Amino acid sequence: MEYAGKTFVKGNMEQIIYFMAFFALGGLFSFIALLYFRSSQEKAFNNVFNKDFSYSKLLIPGLLLPIAMFLNMIALGQGGGIVMTIINLNMLVTIFAGAYFLGDKIDASIIISTLIAICFIAFASYRSIKIN
């Protein structure tokens, strides 16, 4: 990993450790903020964490976020921007996560458009590999 042209984390295992420490620190800050909001914004806090709250809606994104960031780190370190496009595929995540978590409706035109976009992403990846 580099910052301002200087390497500060070398090797894959060191990068993994760095990112896990990064997420642990972020989780600690978030936990402290939640404790604060629990006491200062009790009504809003209880509206979110009511008895009908499904913790899988926290668990799934909570597991996917560090995995996605780790894969992004690998992609940037080894393949650059086009690999980021393949790994990220934010369009798919947004469409299907919106359908699952928010109840967004998906019809055939959305699915067909998504498949067409994936084909163009695959073509762009192929061309990038050919010219690089």
Burial class (CB in 10 A: 0-12, 13-18, 19+), 123: exposed
Tokens of 114: 């998504």
The predicted structure's pLDDT at residue 79: 57
Flag whether pLDDT at 9 surpasses 90: no
pLDDT digits (tens, 9 = 90+) for 47-57: 888 878 877 77
Q: Per-residue pLDDT for 29 more than 90?
A: yes
Tokens read off for 65 = 């976020």
The pTM is what? Answer: 0.52
Alpha helices (H) along the chain: 12-40, 42-48, 56-78, 81-88, 90-102, 108-131
Tell which wins on pLDDT, 72 or 29: 29
Distance between start and end Cα atoms, the chain: 22
Q: Note the pLDDT tens digit of each residue in 80-132.
A: 666 666 655 677 777 877 888 788 888 888 888 888 887 887 777 677 767 76
At residue 80, the pLDDT reads 60
pLDDT at 33: 93
SS3 for 35? Answer: helix
